[in-house]
Amino acid sequence: MSGGRPVLEAVIFDAGGTLVRLDFEWMAEMVSGRGAPMDAARLRRAEVEGRRRYDHSRRGPGEDAPLGGPGDVRAYLGGMLDAAGAPRGEIEDLVDRFLAREKASGIWSRPMEGARAALDGVAELGLRRAVVSNSDGRAEWHLRNAHVLEGLEFVVDSHVVGVEKPNPAIFRVALDRLGVPAARALYVGDIRSVDEGGAAAAGVHFVLIDPWGDYAAPGAPAIRAIAELPTHLATYFEVPRLASTARPPAGGGRTC
């Protein structure tokens, strides 16, 4: 540690909601087509209510669970629609439409604003970069389509490795491939029950993406957007690039 700051060697990213986001624009069109005008900004703001309802749901994993077994993805999508003011009588059918597209081309399909620059910024700090995602075997495909895969060393997809967050075993898969101890890695994600809970169980540092500042637990590490990640890391951790520039040149550093 340097001045009380923990040493960091690697950052592990969530995929959906972190590097790629929901296609709010398409979703808004689907809602508007039911006679209730909707815009992407309202859905984006309401999405955090979907997270809360997901965190509070307790359903076993099923066919419609791209977020993972600890919660209900229908509660997540339905909660978002409800909070955005979609007609309640249409919500169940809209969720069916969303999940049908998720199984086809995906709904977490747009690059998160600032994700590419954030990956580059993390690389400039000298940190390793990987993904751990609860997915259906297509996490790498979605990241490639969003043009963020090239900023990563590898992707650990729960469907491929047979274990999903918040089980710490999926984090150990990534840590073993990185060759980095848990105490020197950080996970960044957007769902408290899955991402924060899994990171804690695995013993890795964590930061939550909390766009509106009303979702994170009081005092918990959080950023408003993925674009803030490099600054957060440089502020709260000792990172390789900054540590190397702080060292005196070989043979120097003598004081009188």
Instruction: Indicate the burial class of 92 (C-beta count within 10 angstroms; 0-12, 13-18, 19 or more).
Output: exposed
pTM: 0.89
Q: How far apart are CA 207 and CA 98, in angstroms?
A: 28
Q: Which residues in the chain land under pLDDT 50?
A: 59-70, 246-256
Same domain, 149 and 191: yes
pLDDT at 210: 98
Same domain, 168 and 48: no
Q: How far apart are CA 161 and CA 137, in angstroms?
A: 9
pLDDT at 246: 45
pLDDT at 241: 85
Q: How far apart are CA 244 and CA 24, in angstroms?
A: 42
> What Å distances lie between residue 196 and 18, 71, 156, 183, 205, CA to CA?
13, 14, 17, 15, 9
Same domain, 186 and 211: yes
Same domain, 92 and 160: no
pLDDT at 61: 41
Same domain, 242 and 159: yes
**Domains in the chain: how many in total?**
2
Q: How far apart are CA 57 and CA 50, in angstroms?
A: 10
Q: Tell which of 80, 105, 130 closes a domain.
A: 105
Tell me which residue range forms the domain holding 228: 10-18+111-246
pLDDT at 4: 86
Q: Tell which of 58, 78, 105 closes a domain.
A: 105
pLDDT at 58: 57
For tokens 């991402």, name the residue: 195
Sign of CA pseudo-dihedral 77, 167, 143, 238: positive
Task: Copy the structure tokens of residue 19.
Answer: 């590097």
Pairing of β 155-157 and β 20-22: unpaired
pLDDT at 18: 99
Q: Using DSSP, how many helices (H) and how many strands (E) does the chain show? A: 11, 8
Q: Minimal CA–CA distance to 110: which of 74, 66, 133, 142?
A: 142
